Structure 1
Amino acid sequence: MSENSLREDICRFGRSLFERGLTPGSSGNISIRLDDGGWLVTPTNASLGFLDPARITRLDGKGNLVSGDRPTKEIPLHSAVYETRPGARAIVHLHSTHAVALTMLPEIDPRAALPPMTPYYLMRAGQTALIPYYRPGDPAVADAIRGLSGQYSSILLANHGPVVAGDSLEAAVFATEELEETARLYLLLRNLNPRYLTPDQVDDLVKTFGLTLPAGHEHHDHEEPSA
């Protein structure tokens, strides 16, 4: 796919996310890794609903500005995900309401922020890690992401939002949407003792669809919140 087409895709998906209220104001950012090792990334202080393809930032493989507007301050987190997940070609970072709310709950397991609620959550987002709060743009967030050793394609930043990688921008967007909807389900069902997928059902999904989940995923029992 040409670079111009990728620029158009960033704008198209960004507008869709914005119009559905998944990334308000000038929050959130999107990046795509190019074949030459460089990136396309949304500019700083840019609304995903009103992006201009010609102003999308282009960085070289070392993160130097090549063209376009100044990049998002969240470059460290994008860089760390690409570094630890070589197969990732795109990253979506949002401030979506339900995913952010999930990060503030006391019972959340950092190794498995959501239980196995639906097959499509596992098929698209895998399992989700939660890392501690860092101020936006803090380079230390990159070390926290590196500490996950590339095991997770979906990560929640505490009090901030989701960071989701995919082998295409479409895949990253779909996985982000699935994560947000699963977080919404969790909040709706919290304290109601919902029925999650069993370990055998999860294993069947892993085998049938060739899913790669973090080691020991079947042992990450999600604690029930107290009433």
Structure 2
Amino acid sequence: MSPEESAAREGLVRWGRSMFERGLTPGSSGNLSVRLADGYLFTPTNSCLGFLDSERLSKLDGNGKHISGDPPTKELPLHFAFYETRPSARAVVHLHSTYATALSCLADVDPNDAIPPITPYVVMRVGKVPIVPYTRPGSADVAPLIRAKAGDHPAILLGNHGPVVAGTSLEAAVFATEELEETAKLVLLTRGMAIRHLAATEIADLEATFMLRG
């Protein structure tokens, strides 16, 4: 096993446990993946992110064929749609976190920009977050919906399902997912109030300074 793969396995276990213990991914919900030089690592189907076993993680080759470990999550089409569309993506995080999922269920949210720019960090780490229509979990029907958006957006809300975020590393994807969840919480807590959004010039300054790369 390469040092890269060993580190990726350790990272999946560590970050999965961290998010589970903080209530971001209850039960056996959510799934994670990492792109390796020779393939991919995925969390197994029906696994709890708080109790992952590094030796039982699913390994797939570069063509997406399962070659070792437990059977992978059923959400492979979701992850591969990001990897195919974003060459910079080295990891994908999909959770059923409470506030982002709640936001994905609202009928009056802007489908092109579900997370308003109310804090600098959501602009810096997440960017605009579109919503794609509902598809059955695990269905390949989600893939073209993701590919249509993921080139410009590292984070997407799945309608009535929850967030999915790609990052240049697993850590980056986790941090962006957590920022999305916290901002979704702020959006819902302040719903109906007079919100002061960041101005277009302020957003442009943040984007130019921090050069979001999901």
Asked if TM exceeds 0.5, the reply is yes
Native 8 Å contact 1:31 1:41 kept in 2: yes
Question: How far apart are the structure 2 equivalents of 1:31 and 1:73?
Answer: 12
Question: How far apart are the structure 1 equivalents of 2:192 and 2:213?
Answer: 30
- Matched positions, count: 212
Equivalent of 2:32, from 30, 33, 47?
A: 30
**TM-score (structure 1 length as normaliser):** 0.91
Matched, 1:18 2:17: no
Question: How far apart are the structure 1 equivalents of 2:212 and 2:26?
Answer: 32
Matched, 1:200 2:201: yes
Q: Deviations over 1:49-89 (max 9, x none)?
A: 00000000000011111100000000000000000001000
Q: Which amino acid aligns with 1:40?
A: L
Q: Which residue of 2 aligns with 1:217?
A: none
Q: Which residue of 2 aligns with 1:2?
A: 4
> 1:106: how far off?
2.2
Matched, 1:80 2:73: no
Compared with structure 1, are the counterparts of its residues 95 and 199 closer, same or farther at alpha carbon in structure 2 (3 Å cutoff)?
A: same
Identity among equivalent positions (%) equals 60
Matched, 1:71 2:100: no
Matches within 5 A, 1:8-157: 8-36=10-38, 38-148=39-149, 150-157=151-158
Native 8 Å contact 1:206 1:212 kept in 2: no
Native 8 Å contact 2:58 2:70 kept in 1: yes
> 1:2: how far off?
2.3
Native 8 Å contact 1:31 1:78 kept in 2: yes
Native 8 Å contact 1:110 1:130 kept in 2: yes
> 1:114: how far off?
1.0
Native 8 Å contact 2:9 2:54 kept in 1: yes
Q: Which amino acid aligns with 2:14?
A: R
Native 8 Å contact 1:96 1:162 kept in 2: yes
**TM-score (structure 2 length as normaliser):** 0.96
